[in-house]
């Protein structure tokens, strides 16, 4: 029945609107995820009544509240904005089960979506940061400067990791082949050392983007509602009342920061989960 696709249609429409809004204004209206959650609770309450079963609404509440708790934690530590947290929760409330006619997943649909979201989100944020850095040369110069400043630590860390993984590789060859094979151990150790080194460079690059690109000093007169103060740990936009207070304080300039508009990752991850399934299987086969 078409009515059964109301939660899915709401999730796709809501996340798409949030993505477009976030890209254009770097903000998502607070009312949007609230409306999505209200539709979910109404739909599954109705379904529980007509099926004479409490499981539809209970499943919706379990995943919705679990996602809201995780999103709240991400907001608390300053990694997500409030809107991102509520959108994730809305997906949990709306899609506690797999929609009929789409790719099945190994895990329950919300958990598969959750994992896919972070895989897609990581790739998306890296690409966004790279494109941003291409348009702001100061980011690359800052990245190179930071690497030069920590070159001794990098070399020592690389040597230490190689020794550690080489020792592990020697033990692995002894277990698998009955004797120590120095050549095989060498090749076994290369992959984890290379992987850790690449992850470290990616982390340094992301930090350089945040440090040299996603912040700037502006005159207090140019401050507008929704701007995020650098002094604020949480990713929350400034309000009209806070702006008035800052203007009265006598400050002339304030430091604000930007963030990657994460909302586009939600509809992309949703579509991939629906039509492909578990991305983690692709990564396992790729590795």
What's the pLDDT tens digit per position in 220-265?
A: 666 665 555 655 655 555 666 766 666 666 677 666 666 678 899 9
* Pairwise pLDDT comparison (213 vs 225), residue with the higher score: 213
Q: For 146-173, what is the mean pLDDT?
A: 81
Residue 113 lies in a domain: no
Model pLDDT, residue 19: 94
User: Is residue 55 a part of any domain in this protein?
Assistant: yes
- 101 & 12 share domain: yes
Which of 151, 186, 212 is the last residue before a domain boundary? 212
Phi, psi of 170 (to 5 degrees): -65, -40
Q: What Rg do the C-alpha atoms of the chain give, in angstroms?
A: 24
Average pLDDT for 167-194:
78
- How many structural domains are present in the chain? 3
Mean pLDDT over 83-88 rounds to 92
- 184 domain residue, yes or no: yes
Max distance between CA atoms of the chain, in angstroms, equals: 76
Question: Same domain, yes or no, for 28 and 101?
Answer: yes
Q: Do 161 and 70 lie in a common domain?
A: no
Both 21 and 59 in one domain: the answer is: yes
Q: Where in the sequence is the domain holding 42, given as residue range(s)?
A: 2-106+262-286
Same domain flag for 96 and 166: no
For position 31, what pLDDT does the model report?
93
- pTM confidence score: 0.73
- SS3 assignment, position 204: helix
Average predicted confidence (pLDDT) for the chain: 81
Q: Are residues 14 and 91 in the same domain?
A: yes
């Amino acid at each position: 029945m078409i009515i059964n696709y109301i939660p899915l249609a709401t999730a796709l429409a809501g996340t798409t609107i949030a993505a477009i809004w976030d890209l254009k204004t770097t903000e998502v209206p607070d009312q949007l995820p609230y409306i999505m959650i209200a539709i979910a609770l109404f739909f599954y309450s109705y379904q529980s009544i007509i099926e004479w079963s409490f499981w539809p609404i209970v499943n919706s509440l379990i995943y919705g509240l679990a996602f809201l708790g995780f999103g709240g934690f991400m907001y608390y530590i300053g990694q997500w904005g409030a809107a991102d947290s509520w959108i994730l929760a809305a997906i949990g409330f709306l899609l506690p089960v797999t929609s009929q006619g789409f790719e099945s997943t190994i895990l329950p649909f919300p958990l598969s979506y959750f994992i896919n979201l972070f895989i897609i989100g990581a790739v998306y944020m890296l690409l966004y940061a790279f494109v941003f850095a291409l348009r702001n040369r100061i980011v690359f110069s800052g990245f190179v400067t930071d690497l030069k400043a920590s070159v001794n630590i990098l070399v020592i860390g690389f040597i230490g990791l190689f020794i550690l993984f080489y020792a592990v590789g020697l033990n692995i060859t002894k277990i698998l082949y009955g004797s120590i094979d120095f050549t095989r151990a060498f090749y076994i150790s290369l992959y984890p050392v290379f992987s850790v080194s690449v992850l470290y460079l990616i982390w340094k690059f992301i930090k350089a983007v945040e440090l040299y690109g996603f912040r700037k000093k502006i005159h207090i007169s140019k401050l507008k509602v929704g701007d995020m103060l650098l002094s604020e740990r949480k990713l929350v936009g400034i309000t009209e009342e806070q702006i008035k207070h800052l203007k009265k304080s006598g400050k002339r300039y304030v430091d604000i920061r930007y963030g990657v508009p994460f909302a586009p990752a939600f509809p992309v991850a949703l579509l991939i989960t629906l039509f492909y399934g578990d991305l983690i299987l692709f990564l396992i086969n790729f590795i």
